[in-house]
A and B are shown apart, each in its own frame.
Chain A
Amino acid sequence: MSQDNSNRYYIILGVLGILLATYTIRLFNLQVLDKSYKRKANENAIREITIHPARGFIYDRNDSLLVYNDAAYDLMVVPKEMRPFDTMELCRVLDLEIEDVRKKLDKAAKYSGSVPSLFKQQISKEDYGYLQEKMSEFPGFFVQSRTLRSYPQPIAAHILGYVSEVDEQDVENDNYYKMGDYIGKSGIEKAYESVLRGVKGKRKVLVDVHNREMGSYDNGAEDVVAVPGTSIWSTLDMQLQRYGEELMSGKRGAIVAIEPKTGEILCLISSPNYDPNLLVGTARPKNYGKLVMDPEKPLFNRALQAAYPPGSTFKLANGLIALQDHIITPSSVYSCSGGGYHIGSHVVHCHNCGGLNIYSAIQRSCNTFFCRAYYNILSNRVKYKNIDEAYTAWLDYMSSMGFLQVFNTDLPYELKGRIPTAEYFDKKYNNSWNGNTVVSMGIGQGEAAVTPLQMANMLAVIANKGYYIRPHVVRAIGHRDSLNTQFSDKIYSKIEPRHFETVLQGMKMVVTAGTGRGAQIPGIEVAGKTGTAQNPQGRDHSVFALIAPANDPQIVIFCLVENGGFGATVACPIASLMAEFYLNRKVERTDLETRMKELNIK
């Protein structure tokens, strides 16, 4: 080995230089050029934990709890942290088949090794308690708590609505939501979603390679505190609602009660209904499917979404319009004889009431009187050029009392109802029609169909002598005294106040000595109106409109019982019992109450 190999020194240096350069270039690539590693390091180490705020509670007008949150427990699993455990024991506790466990674990492992997966949703409190004690025997599992809606009373399902997991559409519409979040899907839950939900918080934590939390990231500089949902005070009277639902059990129909001075809905009942607790938690999909398939359609909110012929209660509105248009005065007398109101060979039957003014006409629900009045309204050629104009003016009056529209407040899915336009009749009757053609609408039959809510609102107009406040179901947000003023505008009808006195007087007489004597409540002056809505499919619907106390109305009630027959037989006692319950907080007519509760019309 001689010195002549010294040139190899330079070759070695050269190769070494090339190697160093290669490594340096590789490092430059890795550290400076390739930005993906930075992101990957953050994904590794920083976990963003969303903090779901508790949803706001819902109280009734008397601070009774209608909706609150119940703790639920989800069993989560982190496959990577799992060690062999007593599978049989887990199966036994959770009531699972061993195959299920295997499937769930496979699915979780496929999703991610280190990110927690849902193993079993909403395990019971008992199972939770048991598991919590034995958690150390099931490494890799942990229990995560979350909140579920809960209802102390199984009532008001339609109005309260329900909460469920967001769908893709919700996430698309509002980027606040992420898959797995909950959202109000109907009723108050939906209308006040932004108030009730609160604001999600987030926490960034460092996690180590074993997925253990190792403290907050950047000392919590990027953390956001969750804001709990705001509680809401509903206008509902929980006890009245429950009482109404009890009275309506075994019957189809709807009851709407409003406090006329405020437009606050005191109760809103649609029967048949369902227990809102059915649509909570793991049982929700199954129960929802059952409710959808139920031929009784319990999910259907008859109070807002069903259009019924209003029956004789409609006469009140027509009487008001006749008075306003000077077709009649309070002392005008129409005579009822010959079996009713004759239009050619067609007769609108009545009871040969003889000559009567509007008071007695309301009292006795005279068809002849109101047919004639309605005909005269539409035939008023002094004021209106033709039938179209007269009819449209009538529609105007009606809509000024809240018909033909949705109130668009905080109620779910209202229906406008159906009262045809003049154009409709022009077309139908080839431009040759008159008051008599449509005269059955004068007594609440025929083409007109309105919702129970609209009828209750009309009663509020009468009770307020000329105006209404749009009916709504939430009276305060955040604090029971911070009143919800967004619906507090008075909306005036086109009827002068003095005419309401007249109609109200007639309604008092209905109860004292007319068709609605069954509505009498000891110690309280009640005004009312019976109705019988013709039902081509079967027995007529029993309808009753009630205002009480007549001189200082605290409550108006519209009650409709499908296939209940005459207004006086079913709807009248039910409405009366509810008024008694609301005003006296107790019911003395217990026999009647029992009879009504047990009455089954299906």
Chain B
Amino acid sequence: MPKLDPYNKMSKGFDVRLICYYLALVLIGWITIYSTCYIPDGSTPIFDFGQPYSKQMIWIGTSILLATVILLIDSGIIQHYAYFFYLFCLFLMVLVLFVGAEINGAKSWIKIGSFSLQPTEFMKVATALAMAKFMQEGKTANEKRYVWIGQFALILIPVIVVMLQHDAGSALVFGSFIILFYREGLSSGFLVMCIIAAILTIITLAWNETYSIALLTAVFIVFMIANRTQKKKLRRNVIVYIASIVFVFSVNFLYEHGFEPHQKQRIDTILGKTSDPLGADFNLNQSKIAIGSGGLFGKGYLKGTQTKLKFVPEQSTDFIFCAIGEEWGFFGTLVVFSLYGALIFRILKLSEKQRNPFVRYYGYGIAGIFIAHFFINIGMTIGLLPIIGIPLPFISYGGSSLWAFTMMLFCFIKLNDN
């Protein structure tokens, strides 16, 4: 009987800290969304359901309801339906390709009346769950090699669909599973390869392929001399060298043909190749001005000119961090950083302590997703990364993302409790 008492379960050990961080971030989000909609000379009533801040209130209410439901159901259900959920989300995503509405160049929304749903956001939590389940099953498999292929496929399938939706930001987020893989034994060599590839990519794009090839050749010659007595290594060096050169050229080719002009422009801006503050870089420039003009303590709540006067684009969604930076200053951004830092570290710590590998896998999976969202979103607003439109979890306006991130976090809280 006590085993079935849900109240007893709840009281036992849901991580209160995570719940607090969550509530704090959601509250900051709502306050900031209100500010971005606030009109200096006009009245801005709290309840006006044409306004994002009032809608967000509904999203927050339903999210809390959703969170409660998740905490109340049996955690076995989450695990049991992981694949089903994954396939369901995938189905919705494919559906979007045919019936979806296009918003800001990305065709990733299903419109049902005035209500829009973005399946991609749910796909992230679904992938994390499916991945955890698959890896747990894979632990006992005989052929480890096929397990890796399966893991790769679980990510690749949604990435392909997301790319077809022209939603590069979300595609990038799926890359964050590398954190989980690394934790679970991905060879360091692979990681080193990724880092080298990243360096080569940056050099190739920032200057041109000649520099990359020159660098590669120099390193190749050093290695050839160092390994001159070992035939096997010499052969390996040659293979790696040729593969790298092919990689460099394919980077160039992909950049020239795989990106939209505006995306290339954003990349060029971050690499310092072009600067066009009144044209293509207007958004980035205004975003930096908003945050930069906040100073130590900000301009004060509802007093940000950059956001009030609409210099910053998408200020209640992708660029919401600007409003926080402008009105609350370095102090405010530090609070947001601290909350996110605490949230992510807490998830990692609890995952690490878990004896149930399923929960650990899931924890690392979603920690990676939070990390990716946080650093990509804020990185773009402060000019460290190219502009990639993904929301800031819990803070950005939007029902789909808030629901999905709530689901993501509360599934973890629930699973962690068992």
Contact = CB atoms under 8 A, between A and B. Distances in A.
A206 B309 contact: yes
**Which of A37, A38, A210, A214 has its CB near the most chain B CB atoms (within 10 A)?**
A37
B349 to A, nearest CB: 8
B293 A41 contact: yes
B382 A27 contact: yes
B261 interface: no
A287 B58 CA distance: 71
Nearest to B183: A8
A435 B294 CA distance: 88
B309 A207 contact: yes
A210 B326 CA distance: 20
A6 interface: yes
Contact of B295 (A31, A40, A207): A31
Nearest to B340: A20
B292 A38 contact: yes
Interface string B310-351: 110000000000000110011001100100010011001000
Nearest to A37: B292
Nearest to B42: A215
Interface stretch (A11-19, A353-361, A384-392, A474-482): A11-19
B306 A26 contact: no
B54 interface: no
A41 B290 CA distance: 7
Interface string A170-186: 00000000000000000
B193 interface: no
A45 B311 contact: yes
Contacts of A40: 289, 292-293
A36 interface: yes
A32 B296 contact: yes
A214 B39 CA distance: 9
Nearest to B312: A209
B289 A9 contact: no
A9 B348 contact: yes
Interface stretch (B70-78, B371-379, B403-411): B371-379
A22 B383 CA distance: 13
A28 interface: yes
A421 interface: no
B309 A16 contact: no
Nearest to B291: A30
Interface in B248-307: 278, 286, 288-296, 305-306
A44 interface: yes
Interface string B182-196: 111100000000000
Contacts of B291: 27, 30-31, 37
Interface string B352-382: 1000010000000000000100010011001
Nearest to B179: A12
B294 A31 contact: yes
A255 B253 CA distance: 88
Contacts, number: 117
Given A23-B384, A40-B289, A44-B289, A214 B179 contact: no
Given A45-B306, A45-B309, A214-B41, A30 B184 contact: no
B367 to A, nearest CB: 8
A208 interface: yes
Interface residues of B, number: 45
Given A12-B183, A44-B311, A208-B309, A26 B384 contact: yes
A210 B311 CA distance: 8
A206 B40 contact: yes
Mostly, the B contact residues are helix
Given A16-B371, A41-B289, A209-B310, A5 B294 contact: no
A5 B382 contact: no
A209 B371 CA distance: 32
Contacts of B40: 206, 214-215
B139 interface: yes
Interface string B377-407: 0110010100000000000000000000000
A113 interface: yes
Contacts of B139: 1
A34 interface: yes
A12 B334 contact: no
B280 to A, nearest CB: 13
Nearest to A11: B182
Contacts of B293: 37-38, 40-42
B185 A46 contact: no
B375 A45 contact: no
**Which of A1, A12, A19, A31 has its CB near the most chain B CB atoms (within 10 A)?**
A31
A44 B299 CA distance: 15
A20 B329 CA distance: 17
A535 interface: no
Contacts of B128: none
Contacts of B18: none
A22 B337 CA distance: 12
A223 to B, nearest CB: 15
Nearest to A26: B382
A214 B348 contact: no
A45 B345 CA distance: 39
Contact of B185 (A1, A19, A32): A1
B183 to A, nearest CB: 5
Contacts of B286: 44, 209
Given A24-B334, A209-B311, 19 more contacts: A1-B357, A12-B182, A12-B348, A20-B337, A23-B375, A26-B384, A31-B333, A36-B292, A37-B292, A37-B293, A38-B292, A41-B293, A44-B305, A206-B40, A208-B310, A208-B311, A209-B309, A214-B309, A215-B40
Identify the 8 closest CB pairs spanning chains A and B, nearest first: A37-B292, A41-B293, A45-B305, A208-B309, A31-B330, A1-B184, A215-B41, A37-B293
Interface of A: 1-2, 5-6, 8-9, 12-13, 16, 19-20, 22-24, 26-28, 30-32, 34, 36-38, 40-42, 44-46, 113, 206-210, 214-215
7 contacts: A9-B183, A9-B352, A12-B348, A23-B337, A24-B337, A41-B293, A45-B306
